[in-house]
């Protein structure tokens, strides 16, 4: 009998004839993969869509006035013509809302007030009866600028010669672990100093230094940024927002606009993709500002695809200078890495990416002697923010290619070099933290084996020509949840009259399957079937608090809160039953929605007791509505010394893994085709193995897309390809012919059932693995992303006689 058949058979039995399973234990939902969420975990939303029909004919349409120049003083703004246009209801500027906002560094206004700092900087906003009128009004706003010199390279931006983009940097409010450098363009300087660098270089048989570049890229979610804001007669504002951060949005917008948090409600319906760009605040504050002046009418603000490319968050660019020492046996003796992050015009979010790069800056390797500088630099480029991987794909692009180059120069196998140096249980990381149990070595070995590392590439089919070459490459990775030391999660499990459970959370499902995983954890912790669990989407007025849906932390952090809430609800039920039945609570359990006694074999359905309680033998009642509560916050992350970056525990944990790829390169055209990607990751415990594998597959394809195709082209700060015609992303046609996903499970001590996150990690090593495979195939090294056909062809041309 299958588990589902067994559950169905049990449910048909009467309470009096309930039979305990032979093992006296219930089956587990953890490590299983519900096939159809409609038939198992039910999900609901406070609002399932945001469109014109929902808000009726009173809906106003918002539009933003953007800066056409990358840097300049605002001399004059004249909105009189826009305000006079029939159908225009609201026009606002920075004079109306001058407050600063920012998650880690408050360096950004909702509307530019004194100067503009990038092409796309928001200067004003309008709300009108139709989108066409709103566009006309935006065109009628007159702005006079005094152009200023721009900064378009982070290395130059960090130099004393660069013009200052934020002269007021010293006055900005920053969190304690961010270190701005007033009087410069460096908004954060993360330092790691460890060991003796002179000794490390002296012990090395080879010292090699190289520079690598990563461009800005766009997240390009299918759904662009969109929101609706409305203020009621009591002054309360509701924001329907496609957001990864409902509570963070409420917090940041309320502070910037000087309104009470209790006066701002954020509702997040289902989100059409995020990948980090919908974390924090970008354009949502402008919608709230418009609504505050719209006399009760709702205001919709939606970014066009072109606006999405450069007026919302982009992934930061990077210039990485990697210097490494290695012995003839392949042991790394020293690393000196410099990361210059192109943070854009605001680094309110990007400063923490810089920090994450610092404490991860050696890659997943034990290195005794370390000197790392990670600098977040203001430029006159679009605003850099969170993106899947949070700085790790960028730094691993250089580190993992550098490992291969060192190995080749010493005549060593790159896989063996990684196995020699990769962090193992009990090793000390670059910040002094002791590495927790990790399956990184297993991941490297399994990925290499699955790609056939020791075997030559498969021969080309007859007739395919002699101008194509195949090669294999591999790259390892690590990533910690990059977040403050105290990000909280909370959850509520409420029992219903029919014995089903409703789970309220503050995290957002952006396609990663968070609601399904939470349903599994709640069902497991409570002892009910997964189809009897309903998980709500987020409404900050009614949902429990969640910091943000970022950092691949929900399964771990919110999962702990949900499991705790479910177990709390279960405890309340069992305490009631124990008293009513006069039994020891340790003899009771809940199995498939039935409270059972292992001693008496008596049972009772939750539908009879979860809300109404139970009657004692004397006729009185106990129990009542069951409401389980859970919360989780890591209490063990320690500060790092600002000068050395050393501390006992820099992060909660690291997820580690490895990817191996096989490519085919056309020497006549330079085209690179990825034939196979193998992904192996230590996820601690796979709560839902199918969803873990789909994360691995999706991350690998997205990583391949950034490796081969993507890059925002900026010429003196002006974006030249803000559309899908000129900015290509991978489609099903480009996907590898074969994807293999390998789950390694070394449990995490503080994760629910040992789980840790894996949402971002599969995107981290893909690009360097492909670069290494291209080199293996045709002997050329591409050190700047993306690996376009043009670059490959040009490099190949240099090798021809």
Would you say residue 42 lies in a domain?
A: no
Report the pLDDT averaged over residues 344-360.
Answer: 98
How far apart (Å, rounded) are the C-alpha atoms in residues 596 and 605? 9
- What is the rounded radius of gyration, in angstroms, for the C-alpha atoms of the chain? 28
3-state secondary structure 216-263: CECCCCCCCCEEEEEECCCCCEEEEECCCCHHHHHHHHHHHHCCCHHH
Catalytic residues: 760
Tokens of 386: 């969170």
Residue 662: beta bridge partners? Answer: 472, 676
Q: 46: pLDDT confidence band, cut at 50, 70 and 90?
A: very low
Report the pLDDT averaged over residues 237-246.
Answer: 98
Would you say residue 377 lies in a domain?
A: no
CA distances in angstroms from 413 to 330, 365, 474, listed in the order given: 9, 16, 11
Report the pLDDT averaged over residues 102-117.
Answer: 98
Domain co-membership, 404 together with 449: yes
Q: Of 632, 666, 694, which one is at a domain's C-terminal end? A: 632
Q: Residue 173 — φ and ψ, nearest 5°?
A: -85, 130
Domain co-membership, 479 together with 498: no
Give the rounded percent of residues in the chain with a pLDDT score beyond 70. 94
Report the pLDDT averaged over residues 206-217.
Answer: 98
pLDDT for residue 177 is more than 90: yes
Buried b (16+ CB within 10 A) or exposed e, 679-710: bbbbbbbbbbbebbbbbbbbbbbbbbbbbbbb
Ramachandran class of 643: left when φ > 0, alpha when ψ lies in -120 to 50, beta otherwise: alpha
Report the pLDDT averaged over residues 138-156.
Answer: 98
H/E element holding 193? Answer: strand 186-194
Give the rounded percent of residues in the chain with a pLDDT score beyond 90. 91
Cβ-contact 237, 247 below 8 angstroms: no
Report the pLDDT averaged over residues 43-58.
Answer: 60
Would you say residue 540 lies in a domain?
A: yes
Report the pLDDT averaged over residues 314-336.
Answer: 98
- 616-665 pLDDT, tens digit each: 989 999 999 999 999 999 999 999 999 999 999 999 999 999 999 999 99
pLDDT score at 51? 56
pLDDT score at 575? 97
How far apart (Å, rounded) are the C-alpha atoms in residues 89 and 300? 13
pLDDT score at 469? 96
Report the pLDDT averaged over residues 497-504.
Answer: 98
Under DSSP, the state recorded for 285 is H
Among 757, 517, 744, which residue's Cα sits nearest to residue 654? 757
Cβ-contact 107, 174 below 8 angstroms: no
Q: 15: pLDDT confidence band, cut at 50, 70 and 90?
A: very low
Would you say residue 218 lies in a domain?
A: no
pLDDT score at 461? 61
Report the pLDDT averaged over residues 520-540.
Answer: 98
Which domain CATH number covers 567?
Answer: 3.30.365.10
Q: Euclidean distance between the first and final Cα of the chain, in Å?
A: 70
Domain co-membership, 417 together with 503: no
H/E element holding 195? Answer: none
pLDDT score at 54? 81
pLDDT for residue 8 is more than 60: no
Would you say residue 616 lies in a domain?
A: yes
pLDDT for residue 431 is more than 80: yes
Domain co-membership, 576 together with 719: no
Tokens of 218: 């766009």
What residues contact residue 660 under an 8 Å CB cut-off, 6+ apart? 447, 448, 450, 451, 453, 472, 473, 474, 677, 678, 769
Among 504, 503, 514, which residue's Cα sits nearest to residue 550? 514
Would you say residue 743 lies in a domain?
A: yes
Cβ-contact 552, 482 below 8 angstroms: no
pLDDT for residue 170 is more than 50: yes
What residues contact residue 289 under an 8 Å CB cut-off, 6+ apart? 92, 96, 97, 110, 111, 125, 257
How far apart (Å, rounded) are the C-alpha atoms in residues 107 and 281? 13
How far apart (Å, rounded) are the C-alpha atoms in residues 715 and 566? 54
Among 583, 579, 561, 506, which residue's Cα sits nearest to residue 538? 506
Q: 27: pLDDT confidence band, cut at 50, 70 and 90?
A: low
CA distances in angstroms from 572 to 543, 564, 626, 627, 795, listed in the order given: 21, 12, 7, 8, 68
How distant is the alpha carbon of residue 587 from its chain centre? 43
Domain co-membership, 723 together with 614: no
- Specify the 3-state DSSP secondary structure of 154: helix
What residues contact residue 3 under an 8 Å CB cut-off, 6+ apart? 27
pLDDT score at 457? 82
Among 398, 340, 373, which residue's Cα sits nearest to residue 765? 398
Residue reference for tokens 């950092």: 551
pLDDT for residue 5 is more than 60: no
Report the pLDDT averaged over residues 720-747.
Answer: 97
Q: Of 614, 632, 650, which one is at a domain's C-terminal end? A: 632
Cβ-contact 476, 414 below 8 angstroms: no
3-state secondary structure 61-109: EEEEEECCCCCEEEEEEECHHHHHCCCEEEEEECCCCCCEECCCECCEE
Domain limits for position 122: 50-148+225-302
pLDDT score at 12? 30
Among 250, 226, 248, 247, which residue's Cα sits nearest to residue 237? 250
15-24, 144-153, 234-243, 591-600 — which is least confidently predicted?
15-24
Tokens of 62: 């918002």
Give how many domains the chain has, as a whole number.
3
Domain co-membership, 98 together with 120: yes
H/E element holding 392? Answer: helix 392-409
Q: 562: pLDDT confidence band, cut at 50, 70 and 90?
A: very high
Q: 369: pLDDT confidence band, cut at 50, 70 and 90?
A: very high
Among 113, 134, 65, which residue's Cα sits nearest to residue 294? 134
pLDDT for residue 14 is more than 50: no
pLDDT for residue 756 is more than 70: yes
pLDDT for residue 579 is more than 70: yes
Q: Strands (DSSP E) along 592-648, which ranges? A: 594-597, 603-605, 614-615, 621-622, 627-632
Residue reference for tokens 């702005």: 143
- 447-467 pLDDT, tens digit each: 999 999 999 887 776 566 689
Cβ-contact 213, 318 below 8 angstroms: yes
Domain co-membership, 491 together with 472: no
Q: Residue 195 — φ and ψ, nearest 5°?
A: 75, -155
pLDDT for residue 699 is more than 90: yes
Residue 412 burial (CB < 10 Å; 0-12/13-18/19+)?
middle
pLDDT score at 213? 98
Under DSSP, the state recorded for 586 is G
Q: Of 600, 632, 664, which one is at a domain's C-terminal end? A: 632
How distant is the alpha carbon of residue 698 from its chain centre? 13
Q: 6: pLDDT confidence band, cut at 50, 70 and 90?
A: very low
Note the residue count of the chain: 801
Report the pLDDT averaged over residues 442-450.
Answer: 98
Under DSSP, the state recorded for 685 is S
Cβ-contact 564, 632 below 8 angstroms: yes
Residue reference for tokens 């960090």: 158
pLDDT score at 402? 98
Residue 598 burial (CB < 10 Å; 0-12/13-18/19+)?
middle
Average pLDDT, the chain: 93
pLDDT for residue 3 is more than 50: no
How far apart (Å, rounded) are the C-alpha atoms in residues 537 and 267? 8
- Specify the 3-state DSSP secondary structure of 503: strand
Domain co-membership, 243 together with 102: yes
Report the pLDDT averaged over residues 198-207.
Answer: 98
How far apart (Å, rounded) are the C-alpha atoms in residues 753 and 195? 37
pLDDT score at 464? 60
349-353, 457-461, 784-788 — which is least confidently predicted?
457-461
pLDDT score at 31? 86
Domain co-membership, 661 together with 758: yes
Domain co-membership, 695 together with 789: yes
Domain co-membership, 617 together with 564: yes
Which domain CATH number covers 285?
Answer: 3.90.1170.50
User: How many Cα atoms occupy the beta-carbon half-sphere of 459 within 13 Å?
Assistant: 3
Would you say residue 364 lies in a domain?
A: no
Report the pLDDT averaged over residues 588-611.
Answer: 96
Residue 52: beta bridge partners? Answer: none
Would you say residue 198 lies in a domain?
A: no
Among 532, 591, 563, which residue's Cα sits nearest to residue 26? 591
Domain co-membership, 253 together with 120: yes
Residue reference for tokens 């854009």: 344
């Amino acid at each position: 009998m299958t588990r589902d058949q067994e559950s169905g058979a049990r449910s048909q039995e009467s309470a009096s004839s309930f039979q305990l399973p032979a093992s006296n234990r219930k089956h587990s939902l953890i490590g299983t993969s519900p096939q159809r969420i409609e038939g198992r975990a039910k999900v609901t939303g406070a609002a399932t869509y945001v469109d014109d029909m929902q808000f009726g004919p009173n809906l106003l349409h918002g539009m933003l006035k953007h800066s056409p120049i990358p840097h300049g003083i605002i001399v004059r703004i004249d909105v009189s013509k826009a305000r006079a246009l029939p159908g225009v209801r609201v026009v606002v500027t920075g004079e109306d809302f001058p407050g600063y906002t920012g998650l880690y560094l408050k360096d950004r206004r909702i509307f530019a007030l004194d100067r503009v700092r990038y092409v796309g900087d928001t200067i004003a906003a309008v709300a009108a009866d139709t989108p066409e009128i709103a566009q006309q009004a935006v065109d009628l706003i007159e702005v006079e600028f005094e152009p200023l010199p721009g900064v378009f390279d982070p290395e130059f931006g960090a130099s004393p010669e660069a013009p200052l983009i934020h002269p007021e940097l010293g006055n900005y409010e920053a969190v304690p672990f961010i270190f701005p450098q007033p009087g410069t363009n460096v908004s954060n300087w993360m330092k790691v100093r460890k060991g003796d660098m002179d000794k490390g270089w002296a012990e090395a048989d080879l010292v090699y230094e190289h520079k690598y570049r990563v461009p800005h890229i766009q997240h390009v979610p299918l759904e662009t940024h969109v929101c609706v804001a409305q203020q009621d007669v009591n002054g309360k504002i509701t924001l329907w927002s496609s957001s990864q951060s409902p509570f963070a949005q409420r917090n940041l917008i309320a502070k910037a606009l000087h309104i009470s948090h209790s006066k701002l409600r954020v509702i997040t319906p289902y989100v059409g993709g995020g990948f980090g760009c919908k974390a924090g605040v970008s354009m949502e504050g402008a919608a709230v500002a418009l609504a505050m002046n719209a006399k009760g009418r709702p205001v919709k603000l939606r970014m066009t695809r072109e606006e999405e490319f450069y007026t919302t968050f982009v992934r930061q660019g990077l210039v990485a200078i990697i210097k490494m020492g290695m012995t003839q046996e392949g042991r790394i003796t020293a690393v000196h890495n410099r990361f210059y992050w192109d943070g854009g015009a605001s680094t309110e979010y990007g400063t923490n990416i810089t920090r994450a790069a610092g404490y991860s800056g050696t890659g997943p390797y034990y290195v005794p002697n370390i000197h790392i500088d990670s600098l977040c630099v203001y430029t006159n480029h679009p605003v850099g923010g969170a993106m899947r991987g949070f700085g790790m794909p960028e730094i691993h692009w250089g580190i993992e290619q550098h490992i291969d180059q060192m190995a080749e120069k010493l005549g060593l196998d790159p896989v063996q070099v990684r196995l020699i140096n990769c962090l193992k249980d009990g090793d000390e990381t670059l910040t002094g933290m002791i590495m927790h149990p990790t399956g990184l070595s297993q991941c490297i070995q399994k990925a290499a084996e699955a790609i056939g590392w020791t075997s030559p590439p498969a021969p080309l089919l007859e007739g395919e020509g002699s101008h194509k070459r195949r090669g294999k490459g591999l790259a390892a990775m690590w990533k910690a949840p990059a977040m403050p030391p105290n990000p909280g999660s909370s959850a509520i499990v409420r029992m219903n009259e029919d014995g089903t459970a409703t789970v309220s959370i503050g995290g957002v499902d952006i396609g990663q399957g968070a609601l399904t995983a939470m349903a599994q954890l709640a069902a497991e912790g409570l002892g009910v079937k997964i189809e009897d669990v309903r998980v709500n989407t987020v409404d900050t007025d009614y949902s429990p608090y969640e910091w943000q849906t970022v950092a691949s932390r929900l399964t771990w952090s919110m999962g702990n809160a949900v499991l705790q809430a479910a177990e709390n609800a279960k405890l309340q039920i069992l305490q009631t039953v124990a008293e009513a039945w006069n039994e020891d609570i340790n003899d009771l359990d809940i199995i498939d929605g039935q409270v059972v006694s292992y001693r008496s074999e008596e049972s009772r359905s939750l539908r009879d007791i979860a809300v109404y309680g139970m009657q004692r033998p004397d006729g009185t009642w106990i129990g009542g509505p069951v409401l389980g509560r859970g919360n989780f916050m890591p209490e063990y992350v320690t500060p790092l010394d600002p000068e050395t970056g050393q501390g006992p525990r820099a992060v909660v944990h690291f997820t580690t893994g490895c990817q191996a790829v096989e490519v085919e390169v056309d020497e006549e055209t330079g085209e690179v085709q990825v034939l196979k990607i193998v992904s192996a990751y230590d996820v601690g415990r796979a709560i839902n193995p199918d969803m873990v594998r789909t994360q691995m597959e999706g991350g690998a394809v997205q990583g391949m897309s950034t490796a081969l195709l993507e890059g925002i082209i900026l010429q003196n700060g002006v974006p030249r390809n803000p559309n899908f015609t000129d900015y290509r992303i991978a489609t099903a046609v480009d996907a590898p012919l074969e994807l293999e996903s390998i789950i390694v499970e070394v449990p995490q001590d503080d994760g629910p059932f040992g789980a840790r996150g894996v949402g971002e990690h599969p995107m981290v090593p893909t690009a360097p693995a492909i670069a290494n495979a291209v080199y293996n195939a045709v002997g050329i090294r591409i050190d700047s992303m993306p690996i376009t056909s043009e670059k490959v062809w040009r490099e190949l041309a240099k090798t021809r006689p």
